[in-house]
Amino acid sequence: MTARADALLDQASRRAREQAKAEARTTAAMLEFADARRAEFESAERTEWHETELASIAHELAVELQMSVRTVQNRLHQAREVRGKAPAAWEAFLSGQIDGYRVRIISEALGSLRDPRSDRVVDDRVVGYAATHTATELRAWLRRLTTRLEPQHHEERSRDAANDRRVHIDHRDDGVSELWALLPTAQAAAIDALLGGSLLGKEADDARTSDQFMADELSRRLLAGADGEPAVKATIAVTIPATSLAGLSDEPGTSVDGQWVLPAWMVRELAARTGTLFHRVITDPAGRVLDVTKLGRFAPADLEFGLEVRDGVCQFPTCTRPATRCDKDHRVPWPHGPTSGQNMWSLCRRHHRTKTAGIFNATLDENGHATWHLPSGRVVDAEQMALTST
């Protein structure tokens, strides 16, 4: 290796360590802020909103750092887990020997243990291994170590893991999405065998690859009813220019929460299918749904639908919960404020409660522009409406 190449390699290593140290300092500052805010809430007289006040700590950090609330919550939990149970690993993080991703892996391993003595064994051994191996190797090494340390709990952990089974859909670019599921291994293996066995029915002249065929077979089995007809009874809202729908332009369709985009040809194909229903929502030049006002506190179905199309997601910054799963909140509380499009917006239950408790306050100017006022004194804009965001 030439002297220049050797110097560049050293530089890359040094930069990686500096990056890890910077990440550690950020995490430590997040912990200090969270601990300080918790102490403030604990020292004050407790009210019915105490748990909501504590939950708001992560939300304030999320706004300041432009992270999702879940990311903040996970990062705080992982840091506390390692700081409290594995002090040597925590010091290695602060010094840049290991990065935040490895801290996360160590935290997950510590969380699976029951005996504090096992925590100490992990802490004694993990730094040397984590600093000299890849994250994938570290995860496998910790899996082996924790199983050996507490074999009696392995079966219990397996049951707990099965209770955490779930499904997640991640909408990616170019009109495709990723379907992800955490399942008991026996079930996953059975599904794999079922889809693999379906390849036996693939016709010789079928031009699809094996992967494409199995993906189509999975969709067919999930979406078809017992009679073979589509079994899905769901509303999927997409905004698309009428010119694209008519085939006069190719502007894409966008989900109302702004999380995914479909090419115009795909929306036109969906429109041609039996049972597809289109709603026309008329907006003003600023993208606001033309106001509908109703007597009474609760929004009727047509107003709720208009709010969901207009807002797309919860109107608190950083929150991406779809408006279809949000409360319809009166910005000026009812009965002082009307049940109307101008006075209502979509807030997820958690941010609705923090607003009601007065932890996060929202103000509305004469132009209908909303801002949030945080306990730290920060003032931030409400989430942009999906129809007018870029």
Q: Which of 196-205, 289-298, 310-319 shows the lowest per-residue confidence on average (mean pLDDT)? A: 289-298
For the chain, the domains span 12-154, 229-278, 293-381
pTM over 0.75: no
Most confident of the following: 44-53, 101-110, 296-305: 101-110
Q: How far apart are the first and last CA of the chain?
A: 49
Residue 237 confidence (pLDDT): 63
* Higher-scoring residue by pLDDT: 211, 388: 211
Q: What confidence tier does 320 reach under pLDDT thresholds 50, 70, 90? A: confident
User: Containing H/E element for 369?
Assistant: none
Query: Would you say residue 293 has pLDDT above 70?
Result: no
pLDDT in tens, 339-368: 777 778 899 999 998 998 889 888 877 776
Residue 318 confidence (pLDDT): 83
- Cβ atoms of 106 and 142 closer than 8 Å: yes
pLDDT in tens, 141-192: 998 888 888 877 766 767 777 788 888 888 877 778 888 898 876 677 778 8
> Which SS3 state, helix, strand or coil, does residue 170 take?
strand
Q: Which two tokens stand for residue 190?
A: 């059975």
C-alpha dist (Å) from residue 367 to 76, 210, 314, 343: 38, 56, 20, 12
pLDDT in tens, 225-267: 656 555 555 555 666 777 777 777 777 777 666 666 777 777 7
Q: Report the distance separating Cα 74 and Cα 60, nearest Å.
A: 15
Q: Considering all CA atoms of the chain, what is the largest pairwise distance in Å, rounded to the nearest integer?
A: 79
* Higher-scoring residue by pLDDT: 148, 101: 101
| Percent of the chain whose pLDDT exceeds 70 | 82
Residue 206 confidence (pLDDT): 87
* Higher-scoring residue by pLDDT: 105, 309: 105
Query: Would you say residue 95 has pLDDT above 90?
Result: yes
pLDDT in tens, 36-74: 999 999 998 888 889 998 999 999 999 999 999 999 999
Residue 76 confidence (pLDDT): 96
* Higher-scoring residue by pLDDT: 33, 380: 33
Residue 283 confidence (pLDDT): 52
What would the mean pLDDT of 332-344 be, rounded to a whole number? 75
C-alpha dist (Å) from residue 321 to 240, 313, 347, 348, 360: 21, 5, 9, 7, 18
Q: Which two tokens stand for residue 87?
A: 């002090």
Q: Which of 211-215, 334-338, 348-352 shows the lowest per-residue confidence on average (mean pLDDT)? A: 334-338
